[in-house]
Amino acid sequence: MARSRSHRSATKTTRAWYSASSTQSSAAPAGTRSGTGSTADRCRRSTSAPRRERTCSRRWMGPSSASRHSSSADIGSARRSTSSRRTHRRSSSRSHSCARTPGCTSATTSSAGERRWAQSSTSRASRARHSPAIRTTPATTCRSKCAPPPRWRSISGRSLRILFLADVFATAGRRAVEERLPGLREELDVDVCIVNGENAADGAGITGKLADRLLAAGADAITLGNHAFRRDGIGPYLSASQRVVRPANAGSQLPGRGMTVVEARNGVAVAVINLLGQLFVDAAVSPWEMVDQLVDDARSQAPVVVVDFHAEATSEKVAITRWLDGRVTAVIGTHTHVQTNDARILPGGTAAVTDAGMTGPHDSVIGVEAELAIRRMRLRQPVRFQPAEGGVRIEGVVVDCTDAGRAERIELLRVEMI
């Protein structure tokens, strides 16, 4: 009973105080913004009021009927004032954070006690400069023109650098290799270079003459694929060549070799294996039947082993990469002509990428003129494909490894030809 009486007494006191403040605010002098004086008075009185009264005033939901109109005006004015202060704080924090960004300017305007933050085009450009960029070589097209150059020299323990260029397609791809490969070897400080020449002759196969031109441009070894024997006269060349390899599982009776060993610039032996997938590709022998023996033979001759797995299905590429993890230096997928963004180092120390891409015309359908490819797919009519010419780009990967053959780094490579 005592607590109930004291609570009613506190409530009456609070109601009287609220009515008095409301009446005082309604009599504010002219020129004073509505609600400013009354809010200040309430704050001062609230500070000196007993703790119980302040608590009750927060819980109390309305004034007496005599002062309801004036108190409602005070409440609305106080809410507008609070909202204005919050808007000002937000705009101030935005302006402060924007000012810390180099090259960023901001403008603020004031209207009716509220500030509006206007973001200029310079600040938008600044945000674009700070967005993530694709790691590239200096000659590469990237998402941000101000992206920092790649730190190729930051690898600790690196002793061997491997450059792998993806499927060279037709004349445009060959010219790109002949023009840029010598400079790339020097620019990237490459120790050994492997080039897939599967489509060097008009988009299908390779000839001995074209293979010699790729080797003269700076390739240490050339790998092939499902079009290895498309051109007449390539058999004797493959039988005699020590640096051009065809798929090891293409057939034991076919000329050529499926594995070779080349010497890197620093004297380390590098074994190169070429394998053909079995899903959606005509392989005489399953790669799973001979990959273990091939890897054992390669490891007996060289500490560094690179496998070019020319396959259609990404699942098959990922599976064989997992199977070979820890036994080879790198497993590089080719054939689809579309570079995949999954370059990685597996737990066992094997570098892997599902597909290294294509060196050739990218304004096309995987190298072929787009109109011809679309006509064949849409109308199901026989069409003679013609290589495209626009948007030439060099694609591949760069792998850093130790002399023992353990990969430490792999990065995608894209070089736009201008």
Residues belonging to the active site = 227
Q: Which residues contact 352 (CB under 8 A, 6 or more apart)?
A: 321, 325, 330, 331, 332, 342, 343, 344, 345, 346, 410
Whether the CA torsion 308, 163, 195, 312 is positive or negative: it is positive
- Side chain identity at 315, as an amino acid letter? S
- Identify the CA nearest to 188 among candidates 164, 172, 223, 156: 164
Q: How far apart are CA 257 and CA 243, in angstroms?
A: 9
* Radius of gyration, CA atoms only, the chain: 37
Q: How far apart are CA 365 and CA 388, in angstroms?
A: 8
Q: How far apart are CA 173 and CA 202, in angstroms?
A: 10
* 380 burial via Cβ count (<10 Å: 0-12, 13-18, 19+): exposed
